[in-house]
């Protein structure tokens, strides 16, 4: 598998602000890659560098085996982009904007355009002036999805969509992946990333803090266990890899390092397990783990997930 | 109108004054400064009866001067010349202040969705519009008092100075009313400004024709009413009643229209547009043409009308000269034919300055697209930066050339028809083309600024236009060193048809244009986009 996007050590500063501080990102051809981070962490800046709109200060950036700054025009024929905040020309209709962007990219499929307009429930005869945020977003999505391109770069593409449209969007992304195309999906809607992404990269302050598949990430962290036993459990605190043991309402709750799960379960069966719930960490918990200190500074309780 | 419809007006007025605490004083200061500068300057220059007589003789014969200034009355006193010279300019400043202030607090807020938030609170239906009108009216009042004060302080008769100020403020009031109505008609602020600007242009033209012919046409124009007060000579107050009555009537109409439309809608509601793009929208140039088409057509229409009107005034130049023995004595070498040529050269350079204003606004459209984030989706397609910038620059260059050609042709055609000298058409039309390189040079400055200093591009480009206007219109009266005036591309352009066209001047400007474009495109290709 070759890399559709390969970024290493990317640095971009705006005056005194270091927006990207040695960011790494590798997106394999054919995968849906989640690009996660809160507002201001550098997602959009990275995407603008990938599109050749901003010039990197240092670091290596390859996009579809080209240089995004030098080969911008040739590369852009092979990709489609949906910005996070879509601004359109007030006096131009949605249908016209879709056609314009499609033609500038090298043409779009009229049948697919019609289908997308139908599925996304978008009126193409309205001038952009009267579109809501969600409808402007749909214009950019239809233009991107109706193009026959190898790579989709989507910057928070669903931030203005309702849940019904979100479902339509997810269906199309699965279709895109099935067709073997690559998607870079920047998002802070973690449920969306969890539902769609093969692999994710979590970034913070312009730097990649974790990257990999969700399974890999979960393996590196702890599982939450809630158990009810016939007899009181003893000796749990002494086991390696067990953290934050607490008893409440006759149930015992604790976290366990994922690679110690087997030992802990063997220990528990001795006490007569009546019911057991095991929850792998959600992406949200994985994500918050990297931002726990910031939340703590703001006085927000940090989820009970230890640091690796 | 029930009283609850005005609920909250006072709060909105205070809020609007807070938002405009810089803008409004700047407008007022600009208006007062124009009067102060003119007052001090005229008193220094026309300090002897002989100088004043000479001025009266030349200005009395100059249709161009009358067209741009106003009725040639009261020129027996220095104060009268001040009113003659400056009233039209400062009235336009007041009208623009009124337009931008009223529009900003009515339709612009509504278009941006802010009015919706405001109206969800305990605020009546009429309150936002009435507050905008009140704030604009306060601006007009402040400008009237400031002009009266600076006039009196610089030594003009007090009553005349305040009458001049009142006339300027009254003119502003009328355009407050015009904008209030225009803001009800269209959904877009831009269109509302377009309607008001068109009314201002027509008003100016009607009074220009009326003043030159000495006809009653001036009574069809609010600027004509305001200038009919004749400060420092007749000192008439009653024409101001016309302004106030018109402003009141327009406000009543605006409120009536407001009662018959939904929030956010215009009276002219938007029709559904095209569901798919036509063949034009297939390239960056097609997009630029589409975005600028309406503006270009409006400019072309205005300049053709202006060109035709000014072309038709050639005869008036002749008769003004013949009927004025003092002028013939003062300008012994002058002939009527020579005066007409001089008049036409002035007209052509004014048309060219207007075309340059279009060219600059057209180049700056590229920067507006960039800072609004609309260029990002386009440059994320297979469109290169230079192709994108080139599209707007092409519209600016070809569009401004079209404006020069169209207005020049209109002037030449009407002049040839009215003089019966059909052979003069080609000569005069050709003369107007001599100004194209200077127009392009000013557009080139805007391109270089967009590339090099995007944040300051608008300021740099408009300052250059302002400088060129000052050099072209006022420089003869200013004791500047020559090099200061020579920085204007219009200073390099021979005043055709009075002077003859020269190749070196045109070639020099062409080289400057090429260099400015190279700088602009080079810098734009290398820098970050200023988005978000």
Span A46-65, pLDDT tens digits: 999 999 999 999 999 999 99
pLDDT of amino acid B270: 63
Domain assignment present for residue B413? The answer is: no
Residue A100's contacts (CB-CB under 8 Å, 6 or more residues apart) are A92, B277, B281, B282, B286, B287
Kindly give the pairing relationship between strand A32-36 and strand A199-204: parallel
**With respect to CATH, is domain A3-213 assigned 3.40.50.300?**
yes
Q: Tell me: the pLDDT tens digits for A217-248?
A: 777 778 889 999 998 888 888 888 888 888 88
- Three-class SS of B96-156: HHHHHHHHHHCHHHHHCCHHHHHHCCCCCCCHHHHHHHHHHHHHHHHHHHHHHHHHHHCCC
A101–chain B Cβ distance below 8 A for any pair: yes
Tens digit of each residue's pLDDT (9 = 90 or more) over B419-476: 888 888 988 898 999 999 999 999 999 999 999 999 999 999 989 998 898 787 665 5
Q: Does A196 touch chain B (CB under 8 A)?
A: no
Minimal C-alpha gap between A250 and chain B (Å): 52
Residue B369 within any structural domain of the chain? no
Q: Which residue of A has its CA nearest to B294?
A: A91
Q: Is A87–B187 a contact, with Cβ atoms under 8 angstroms apart?
A: no
State how far the Cα of B88 lies from the Cα of B69, in Å rounded to an integer: 5
- In this structure, is the dihedral angle defined by the CA atoms of residues B101, B104, B110 and B111, taken in order, positive or negative? positive
Q: Using the structure block, give the residue that is written with the tokens 């035709």.
A: B308
Q: Which residues of B touch A49 (CB under 8 A)?
A: none
Report the percentage of chain B scoring pLDDT > 70: 94
CA atoms of A245 and A256, how far apart (whole Å): 10
Which of the four pLDDT bands, split at 50, 70 and 90, describes residue A303?
low
Interchain proximity A96–B384, CB inside 8 Å: no
- Summarised one tens digit per residue, pLDDT across range A252-281 is 888 888 788 888 999 999 998 999 988 877
CA gap B15, B9 in Å, rounded? 10
Domain presence at residue B21? yes
Q: Is residue B293 part of a domain?
A: no
Task: Give the model's pLDDT for residue A5.
Answer: 96
Judged by a CB distance cut-off of 8 A, whether residue A107 touches chain B is no
Q: Which residues of B touch A96 (CB under 8 A)?
A: 273-274, 276-278, 281
Average of per-residue pLDDT values in chain B? 89
Read off the DSSP letter of residue B269.
P
Residue B212 domain-assigned (yes or no): yes
Overall average pLDDT of the B207-216 stretch = 89
A189 pLDDT above the threshold of 70: yes
Say if the Cβ atoms of A104 and B382 lie within 8 Å.
yes
Q: Write out chain A residues lying below 8 Å of B188, CB-based.
A: 90-91, 129
Q: Please, which pLDDT band fits residue A307 given cuts at 50, 70 and 90?
A: very low
Q: How far is A97 from chain B (nearest CA, A)?
A: 7
The answer, for A87 touching chain B at a CB cutoff of 8 Å, is yes
Q: Cα–Cα distance between A146 and A124 in angstroms, integer?
A: 14
CB B528: neighbour CB atoms within 10 A?
A: 13
Q: Could you tell me which of A187, A179, A121, A192 has the C-alpha nearest to residue A147?
A: A179
Nearest CA in chain B to A55: B528
**Is the residue at B146 inside a domain?**
yes
Domain interval for residue B130: 1-269
Least confident among B6-20, B41-55, B375-389, B498-512: B41-55
Give the integer Cα–Cα distance in Å for A133 and A87. 9
Domain segments of chain A as ranges: 3-213, 222-280
* For chain B, counts of helices (H) and of strands (E): 24, 0
The size of the A-B interface in CB pairs under 8 A is 117
Q: What is the mean pLDDT of residues B410-417?
A: 91
The answer on pLDDT for A120 being more than 90 is yes
With 80 as the cut, is the pLDDT of residue B59 above it?
Answer: no
**pLDDT of A33 above 90:** yes
Provide the pLDDT for residue B499: 83
The answer, for B22 touching chain A at a CB cutoff of 8 Å, is no
* Structure token pair of residue B318: 């002749």
Say whether residue B526 is in contact with chain A using an 8 A CB cutoff: yes
Residue B309 token pair: 């009107």
Give the model's confidence band at B327: pLDDT under 50 very low, under 70 low, under 90 confident, else very high. low
Q: What pLDDT band is residue A3 in, cutting at 50, 70 and 90?
A: very high
Of A218-222, B64-68, B177-181, the one with minimum mean pLDDT is A218-222
CA distance B280 to chain A (A): 9
Q: Do A89 and B291 touch (CB under 8 A)?
A: yes
Q: With 60 as the cut, is the pLDDT of residue A308 above it? A: no
pLDDT band at residue A306 under the 50/70/90 scheme: very low
Instruction: Record the pTM.
Output: 0.81
Domain A222-280 has CATH 3.40.50.1700: no
Instruction: Return the residue in B111, B277, B366, B523 with the most chain A beta carbons within 10 A, the one to mutate for interface testing.
Output: B277
Per-residue pLDDT at A301 exceeds 90: no
Tell me the shortest Cα–Cα distance from B109 to chain A, in angstroms.
14
Distance between CA atoms of B224 and B235, rounded to whole angstroms?
15
Q: Is B262 on the interface with A (CB under 8 A)?
A: no
**CA distances in angstroms from B205 to B13, B67, B297, B419, listed in the order given:** 34, 8, 19, 22
């Amino acid at each position: 598998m070759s890399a559709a996007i390969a970024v290493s050590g990317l640095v971009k500063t705006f005056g005194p602000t270091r927006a990207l501080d040695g960011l790494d990102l590798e997106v394999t051809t054919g995968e849906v890659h989640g690009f996660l981070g809160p507002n201001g962490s550098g997602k959009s800046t990275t995407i603008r560098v990938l599109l050749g709109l901003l010039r990197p200060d240092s670091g290596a950036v390859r996009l579809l085996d080209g240089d995004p700054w030098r080969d911008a025009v040739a590369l852009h024929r092979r990709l489609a982009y949906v910005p996070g905040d879509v601004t359109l020309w007030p006096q131009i209709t949605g249908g016209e904007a879709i056609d314009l962007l499609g033609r500038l990219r090298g043409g779009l499929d009229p049948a697919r355009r019609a289908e997308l307009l139908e599925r996304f429930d978008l009126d193409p005869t309205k001038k952009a002036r009267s579109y809501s945020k969600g409808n402007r977003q749909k214009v950019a999505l239809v233009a991107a999805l109706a193009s026959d391109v190898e790579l989709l770069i989507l910057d928070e593409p669903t931030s203005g969509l309702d849940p019904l449209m979100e479902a339509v969007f997810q269906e199309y992304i699965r279709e895109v992946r099935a067709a073997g195309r690559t998607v870079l999906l920047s998002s802070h809607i973690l449920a969306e990333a969890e539902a769609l992404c093969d692999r994710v990269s979590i970034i913070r302050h312009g730097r990649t803090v974790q990257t990999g598949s969700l399974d890999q990430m979960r393996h590196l962290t702890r599982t939450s266990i809630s158990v009810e036993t016939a007899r009181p459990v003893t000796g749990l605190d002494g086991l390696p890899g067990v953290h934050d043991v607490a008893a409440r309402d006759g149930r015992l709750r604790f976290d366990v390092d994922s690679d110690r799960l087997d030992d802990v379960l063997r220990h528990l069966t001795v006490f007569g397990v009546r019911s057991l719930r095991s929850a792998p960490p959600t992406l949200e918990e994985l994500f918050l783990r990297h931002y726990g200190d910031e939340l703590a500074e703001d006085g927000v309780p940090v989820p009970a997930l230890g640091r690796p | 109108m029930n009283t609850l419809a005005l609920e909250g007006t006072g709060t909105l007025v205070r809020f609007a004054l807070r938002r405009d605490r810089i803008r409004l004083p700047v407008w007022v200061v600009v208006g007062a400064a124009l009067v102060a500068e003119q007052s001090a300057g005229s008193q220094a220059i026309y300090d002897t009866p002989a100088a004043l007589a000479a001025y009266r003789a030349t200005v009395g014969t100059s249709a161009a001067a009358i067209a741009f200034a106003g009725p040639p009355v009261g020129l027996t006193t220095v104060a009268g010349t001040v009113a003659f010279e400056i009233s039209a300019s400062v009235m336009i400043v007041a009208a623009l202040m009124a337009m931008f202030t009223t529009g900003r607090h009515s339709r612009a807020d509504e278009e941006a969705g802010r009015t919706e938030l405001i109206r969800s609170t305990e605020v009546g239906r009429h309150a936002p519009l009435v507050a905008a009108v009140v704030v604009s009216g306060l601006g007009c009042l402040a400008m009237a008092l400031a002009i009266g004060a600076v006039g009196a302080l610089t030594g003009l008769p007090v009553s005349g100075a305040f009458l001049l100020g009142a006339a300027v403020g009254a003119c502003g009031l009328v355009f407050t009313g015009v904008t209030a109505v225009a803001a009800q008609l269209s959904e877009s602020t831009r269109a509302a400004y377009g309607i008001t600007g068109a009314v201002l242009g027509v008003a100016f033209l009607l009074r220009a024709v009326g003043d030159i012919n000495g006809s009653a046409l001036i009574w069809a124009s609010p600027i004509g009413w305001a200038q009919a007060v004749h400060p420092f000579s007749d000192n008439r107050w009653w024409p101001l009643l016309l302004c106030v009555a018109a402003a009141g009537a327009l406000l009543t109409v605006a409120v009536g229209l407001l009662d018959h439309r939904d929030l956010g809608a215009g009276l002219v509601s938007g029709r559904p547009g095209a569901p798919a793009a036509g063949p034009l929208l297939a390239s960056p140039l097609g997009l630029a043409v589409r975005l600028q088409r309406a503006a270009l057509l409006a400019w072309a229409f205005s300049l053709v009308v202006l060109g035709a009107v000014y072309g038709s005034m050639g005869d008036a130049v002749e008769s003004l000269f013949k009927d004025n023995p003092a002028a013939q004595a003062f300008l012994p070498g002058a002939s009527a034919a020579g005066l007409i040529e001089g008049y036409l050269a002035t007209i052509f350079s004014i048309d060219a300055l207007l075309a340059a204003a279009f060219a600059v606004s057209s180049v700056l459209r590229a920067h507006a697209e960039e800072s609004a984030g609309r260029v990002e989706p386009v440059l994320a397609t297979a469109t290169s930066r230079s192709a994108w910038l080139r599209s707007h620059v092409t519209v600016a260059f070809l569009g401004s050339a079209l404006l020069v050609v169209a207005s020049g042709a209109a002037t030449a055609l009407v002049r040839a028809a009215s003089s019966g000298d059909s052979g003069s058409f080609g000569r005069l039309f050709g003369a107007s083309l001599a100004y194209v390189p200077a127009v392009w040079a000013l557009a080139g400055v805007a391109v270089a600024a967009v590339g090099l200093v995007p944040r300051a591009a608008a300021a740099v480009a408009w300052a250059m236009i302002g400088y060129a206007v000052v050099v072209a219109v006022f420089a003869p009266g200013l004791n500047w060193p020559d090099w200061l005036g020579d920085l204007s591309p219009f200073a390099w352009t021979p005043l055709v048809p009075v002077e003859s066209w020269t190749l070196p001047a045109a070639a020099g400007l062409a080289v400057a244009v090429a260099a400015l474009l190279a700088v602009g495109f080079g810098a734009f290709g290398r820098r970050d986009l200023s988005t978000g």
